[in-house]
Amino acid sequence: MNKTFRLFQTMAQMDRLAVSLTRLGLIVVLVWIGALKIYRYEADGIVPFVANSPFMSFFYAHPAPDYRQHMNKEGEPAPANHAWHQSNNTYPFAYGLGSVIVLFGFMLAVHRWLPHVAAVGGFLVFTMSLVTLSFLVTTPETWVPNLGGPEFGFPLLSGAGRLVIKDAIMMGAALVVMADSAKTYLKRHAI
């Protein structure tokens, strides 16, 4: 047996570790990002996505693009903008969204004991990621704006767009852990 074959054999045997690390990565990201929604800077930062989304804009009191004049830089204290965000329902929505995202992370975390719950959690993360990817179509801030230079618009992702596009990976990872949890459930309940 040559060394290349043995290397690939070793790589092929890492599938269980790969699925476990994928699940752990999703759990960490979901719980961390969901928990950050209690902070004003994070809640303020998601406003363009929510306000422009046909799936979520109804949660806010003020229509897009009203938010543009009330956006804060991360960590910037701006009491007038915070007052606007409070009247917009920005913070209660962020708390609710964060709670749901953390719940999805916990659903994935119970795979060992409740694989059927983890499988549903994987499906929900897939769905959430699909909705998040829709922001590339609905949110103007996901593309580099035309500020007079030659580089703007599609396919040039802004910081917001780069934040969103990562959900393509989360979507695939969610299906991997969903399928793994479903297989575990079926093995335990085989008739």
Q: How high is the pLDDT of residue 150?
A: 95
Q: What pTM value is reported for the model?
A: 0.94
Residue type, 140: P
37-52 pLDDT, tens digit per residue, is 999 999 999 999 999 9
Q: How high is the pLDDT of residue 139?
A: 97
Q: How high is the pLDDT of residue 77?
A: 87
Q: How high is the pLDDT of residue 191?
A: 73
Q: What is the mean pLDDT of residues 133-155?
A: 96
Q: How high is the pLDDT of residue 190?
A: 87
In this predicted structure, the answer to whether residue 82 has a pLDDT above a threshold of 90 is yes
In this predicted structure, the answer to whether residue 1 has a pLDDT above a threshold of 80 is no
Pair 42, 94: CB distance under 8 Å = yes
Q: What is the mean pLDDT of the chain?
A: 96
3-33 pLDDT, tens digit per residue, is 999 999 999 999 999 999 999 999 999 999 9
DSSP secondary structure letters along 76-124 = ---HHHHHHHHHHTHHHHHHHHHHHHHHHHHHHHTTTT-HHHHHHHHHH
Record the tokens describing residue 121, joined without a space. 């959690």
Record the tokens describing residue 161, joined without a space. 């767009």
Query: In the chain, at which residue ranges do the beta strands (DSSP E only) sit?
Result: none
Within a 10 A sphere around the Cβ of 106, how many other Cβ atoms?
15
How far apart (Å, rounded) are the C-alpha atoms in residues 144 and 161?
Answer: 9
* Of 71, 100, 75, nearest in space to 88 by CA: 71
